[in-house]
Chain A
């Protein structure tokens, strides 16, 4: 029996009369790499905000790392990691200062933060960068560091919102190797991306359209069902079939 770390049942989120999330139900398992795909405006960001404790559901039951999103959002925040493309680290702090800051925010003991910090710098071959400002690092290094900081406190789940947007193709692949390594340690990866080849790297993917999850399976399962050769074609078929023209 697989262990669910995210369990969503009949999640509805409304803004006024607009239904952003329309009865979502799904589970994500421990150590799984789960791709959360959808067209722009399909409701992914809304769902992601609820799952990470930033927004309350209108109705339905959402459990993340064992905590209820409606009642215990603060506990959810402590037990997850989060990284997005737009903001991740403080540019005017050094690499070490950023690590100390995030470790502190997550309530880790100082000695433990120091230990993890040095471990992390060594693993990423970042020793020479430890005392450099984030603004002096190339984008690729920043993104790798941002990911490592997001899992510094060993959360049960890490949410990655378009983590590889705009990075070069080598860094993008190194980034995914870090994702694989992290998942192998038992940390669940919940990731959104517009790169359809990255969707192929996920264990399972869901595709949202107009507030609903319209497909959820392994990449291979979806390709078989829609009789196509790639996740990109699955995505195009699904989104085109239900798309209003805006």
Chain B
């Protein structure tokens, strides 16, 4: 597999703040690669470096075989970038924006229509509308169309699903999956841990550092402890009881249950007895498989 992005020891500081520390990774052709982490983790800074919009203080990076510092013009011809903030021309119509981006990259809407058909067809009925008057979901689809219209080899999407409802988020990932057939490499960031499952490989990022890189499966398998899913009708009471239990190693609410790991040597029987004494009734407890978020929490706690 050819390498599309190769970063070694990337560092970036803003004054005293280390936004990125010793970041190394490789992304291969046709991969959907996700950077998963909260706001302030350094995702946007990293994407600006990948897209040649910012120069790193330390380390080396190659994008599509070129150096983003000296050969940025070569790189820019072949990447599509969708920034986190909507940045199309609000006072141009949907179609005008699209034609403008096509022209800048020396192509036409007609020539590459097949690339954007799935996405653009949703907003085509509104092609005369000003971009500034679109709903959030429509803006997102237009921005993606504009980033794709020149058939980039690398598509960089900075938090495309933030603030979007669960159904639209899922549809957006389906659209990305359809782009696979054109062999476009996709680098995407998200604060939603569940979206890691839609990527081929992900990098967990926090405080400017990579916590782990791997396929979603590998990352889940990295979870080192036995994990229990515990439920009770009174969730908050259950959580408090487990927090004050001496045998608890970690306890976090997860949807309708609580995820629990126990200290060495503590048995399930001990904890059942303890919960009963604490007056938590209707408890169920079973072993469960860790998800990406469990692993993220484990890695955060370790730091």
List the interface of chain A (C-beta within 8 A of B): 38-41, 138-140, 162, 165-171, 173, 176-177, 180, 184, 194-197, 200-201, 219-220, 230-232, 235-236, 239-240, 243, 245-246
Contact = CB atoms under 8 A, between A and B. Distances in A.
Contact of A246 (B135, B255, B300): B135
Contacts of B229: none
B168 interface: yes
B167 interface: yes
A177 B273 CA distance: 24
Interface stretch (B1-9, B51-59, B158-166, B178-186): B158-166
A168 B300 contact: yes
Contact of A194 (B41, B164, B256): B164
Chain B interface SS verdict (over half): mixed
B173 interface: no
Interface residues of B, number: 37
Contacts of A173: 252-253
A184 B296 CA distance: 29
Contacts of B38: 139-140, 166-169, 171
Contacts of B217: none
A240 B122 CA distance: 15
B236 A184 contact: yes
A89 to B, nearest CB: 15
A177 B237 CA distance: 11
A200 B255 CA distance: 5
Contact of B300 (A139, A169, A236): A169
A171, A195, A246 interface centre (most CB from chain B within 10 Å): A246
Given A41-B136, A139-B38, A231-B255, 15 more contacts: A40-B137, A167-B39, A168-B41, A169-B38, A169-B252, A169-B300, A176-B253, A177-B239, A194-B165, A196-B166, A197-B255, A200-B255, A201-B253, A230-B256, A231-B256
